Chain A
Amino acid sequence: MRKRHSDTGTRGRILLAILACLGIFGLIGGRLVTLGMETAIAADGPAFSPSDDIQASRPDIIDRNGEVLATDLATASLFAEPRNIIDVDEAVELLSGVLPELNVADLRADLASDRGFVWLKREISALLRERVHDLGIPGIGFLTETRRFYPGGPSVGHIVGHVDVDNAGIAGLERSIDSSGLGALQAVGLARKGRSMAPVRLALDLRVQHAVRDELSRAMERYQAKAAVGIVLNAKTLEVVSMSSLPDYDPNNPAQALDDKRMNRALTGVYELGSIFKTFTTAMGLDTGVVDINTPIDARYPLSIGRFTIKDFHAKSRWLTVSEVFKYSSNIGTAKIARAVGKQRQQDYLKTLGLFDRMRTELPEGAMPLVPDRWADITAATVSYGHGIAVTPMHAAAAAAAVLNGGIYAAPTFYPRTEAEMLQVGHRVISPETSRKMRDLYYLNAHEGSGRQARVPGYNVGGKTGTAEKAAKGGYSTDKRINSFLAAFPIDEPQYVTLVVLDEPQPEKGQTAATAGMNAAPTVANIVTRIGPMLDVKPRFDDGDAVSRAIEIAYQE
């Protein structure tokens, strides 16, 4: 009886244990089932090996048509872990056999040290990598690194800039991309190899950029200029479609960038640009209403201000209308317009046109204009025709675009911008009516004035020349000039503004003079001829022309 009783007790305990086991297994089983029912969430990419962390990845830079201007390429870099090297002498011998450029003494010192990690050679070719690998030295290894490659080459060097050996941007857009958040991403390890980043699209057109650069290099050769700058802006949005400064450098060979001659003159060179400033003076004269297109101005005699005398280069010595002052590029007439506008208003206009402030684009480079501290009477007069004030070519191109596009100014941009966005960021500098009159003056100057050589059939180019003598010790040099031509096409409804600046051009063979009308203007004509069709500017001809031309085309083979 007692035994029986204990038997039921044992039995009960066993049953309890079985039930507990069943319960636990049931729980685990049930949980497994629920886990199986859940929809699987894809893991976010593969796990990264520690070696991926050492290198930062950068977004591609592409032009407006998607041509790659800068991209990452994978390369191998050789490293050693000296602690793990067993036979230093053997390793040194083998390595220097494959890589003779390594310094043997340094290599031995490196490998014999007690350090955990040391770079031996960055960026080695695939072939060498294979050969070092085949040596089979313990403690020697490779890390794949990315190297920046610029398929655009020197054409876009000044715009994209370049990176250092650690892939951090140190010039141009590369640097701007870093400062606009990529640097922070890299610091927390989010921007790494394998993560695709959206490419950075520019407003630049590589085809136009090449055409401008090609024409500038021809002009430099033809007129033996020291340097040349070419800028093409979209007149309505002030997007930089092309910006070239020769001599330039190849971003694949960044050491060239250290050469002062190869600096980006379009943004960092300041020049007294001369007569193209008459654009701004005439615009402010018309906009304030102190003069009109046909107001007569006395340009009979040189103008004396204090101990200075202002003379005209092609003196007409008679009364000129405002449009004639512009056409004949009269210094006397322009100085008189500036005097009528008044010193304060003149400064206000120049300021709203951005000519007093540092040029702020997306590029880190940008020079401060040289503006006189004191605005004396003589300053007001010389600034009116572009002397005594030095600005970058980009300053002048952007201000001219504002004068010609209907009167809206905003800092030029290297990123795409629509007209609606332009209206939001821009501000009005002159009235649409003044802008229309300025376009008429530009048309006149290119058809009857000094800009005749800039005409291109079908594209209705309007422009203003500037032949400025370079400032030299104690005055102005007579044989060293900065020649510029500021143009817009088609001038009745400008789509693009082009500025060409030639530094110290020489007269061509058989010519005695080297004025802007003879070198900068034809350069602009060559550029417009090439870029017009690329930029979808529809050429227009007079009716009669159109018909005969169309017949020719229709019946051409």
Chain B
Amino acid sequence: MKHPMRTAVLAVTLTAAVTSAGTVFVMKKDAERDAHAISELYRNISEERQRISELQAEWSALDHPARLQALVDRHNDVLRLAPIKAEQIANVTEIASAARRKAKMEGQQ
């Protein structure tokens, strides 16, 4: 070999150039793939959001008081539901004092 030093430098440089080119190529492909995956994810998210809002709309339509009332009216022989009355609302103290009164009355008897 006439110039061993020169050959060695050339070889190292070539290898470095090829390797870096290859690495850059792979990185570029990776980045492209990731970008694609990201946009895919964004699309999925947007689709999911759309689906959620559709479901919410559907739920609101199903949960509409007018619809519930019609259903209750139709099946009330089974459900036996009625609107709550003011008389049915009481707080704990009222019930406790009533219970005490009742116990006292029973004690007197």
Q: Which residues of A contact B (CB under 8 A)?
A: 43, 45-47, 60, 67-69, 71-74, 149, 151-153, 155, 193-194, 196, 206-207, 210-211, 214, 456-459, 529-530, 532-533, 538-539, 541, 546-547, 549-555
Contacts and interface: CB of A to CB of B under 8 A. Distances in A.
Contact of B66 (A45, A214, A539): A214
B63 interface: yes
B95 interface: yes
Interface in B62-102: 63-66, 69, 83-90, 94-95, 97-99, 101-102
B56 to A, nearest CB: 5
B39 interface: yes
SS class, residues of chain B in contact with chain A: helix
B65 A149 contact: no
19 contacts: A43-B38, A46-B43, A60-B53, A68-B57, A152-B64, A153-B64, A155-B66, A207-B65, A456-B86, A457-B87, A529-B85, A538-B89, A539-B86, A539-B89, A549-B87, A549-B94, A550-B95, A551-B98, A552-B87
Interface residues of B, number: 35
Given A553-B90, A554-B95, A73 B42 contact: no
Contacts of B64: 151-153, 155, 206, 210
A207 B60 CA distance: 12
Contacts of A155: 64-66
A247 to B, nearest CB: 15
A551 to B, nearest CB: 4
Given A69-B60, A73-B57, A152-B64, A47 B39 contact: yes
Contact of B50 (A60, A74, A539, A554): A74
Contact of B61 (A47, A60, A151, A551): A151
A210 B86 contact: no
Contact of B90 (A43, A206, A207, A549): A549
Contacts of B102: 551, 554-555
Contact of A45 (B42, B54, B57, B69): B42
9 A-B pairs with the lowest CB-CB distances in the bound complex, closest first = A458-B86, A550-B98, A151-B60, A539-B86, A210-B65, A46-B42, A68-B60, A151-B61, A550-B94
A455 to B, nearest CB: 12
B66 A547 contact: no
Nearest to B43: A46
Nearest to A155: B66
